[in-house]
Amino acid sequence: MRAEGRIRDELRTRFGVDVNNTGADPAAVQAAVEAEQLRRQSDTERQRSATEQAEDAALSCQADETDRTAEAARTSAEVAPDEGEREQAQVQAEREQNRADATREKAEPLYDSEERRERDADKLEQRDVGKDAVSAKMAADVSQSKPATAAVKAQQTQSAKARPTLSRSPKLQRTDMGR
């Protein structure tokens, strides 16, 4: 009996559905249920966004610290009196710089994804797009969190240059039009 009362109370407070009223509109009930699902999904999305933002901040701090270490190694390479020490400091600086760059690359997609999803959701809500459409777009963004520009981004390589073909045999040039 307590469970039944609890369920009735939850239905009334959460969804605005009176169980005792048999004349309830099924469409209104369905709309209320869908609205609650969208609210929960949006809360989950906001929590995920906050988590990604925190991870990005931590990775950015780590990259900055590694940059400072690399700069200190570069400075010691410049002032080291011994050639061996200079080379060792330069290698250390290069290693630290590579670590900093790798850490920044890890942070970039997370930050971009979180910021982009939040901005897109706000824009769609301002245009009075339905909550279900906004929710669907955000769910698709989570699954495809890499920016579209990453698909066309390629490593810089030397492209092949066109070269004129030179034949090894001498060419005959006909000057007369006769056969």
pLDDT of residue 123: 81
For the chain (179 residues), the mean pLDDT of every run of 10, in chain order, is: 89 82 75 83 79 80 83 77 79 82 70 67 82 77 60 59 64 63
Q: What is the dihedral of CA 25, 30, 31, 34, to 10 degrees?
A: 170
Q: For 89, which DSSP code?
A: H
In angstroms, the CA 14 to CA 36 distance is 8
In angstroms, the CA 138 to CA 123 distance is 12
Give the tokens for residue 16. Answer: 């605005």
Q: Which of 157, 146, 148 is nearest to 106 (CA)?
A: 146
pLDDT of residue 111: 46
Identify whether the C-beta of residue 117 lies closer than 8 Å to the C-beta of residue 143.
Answer: no
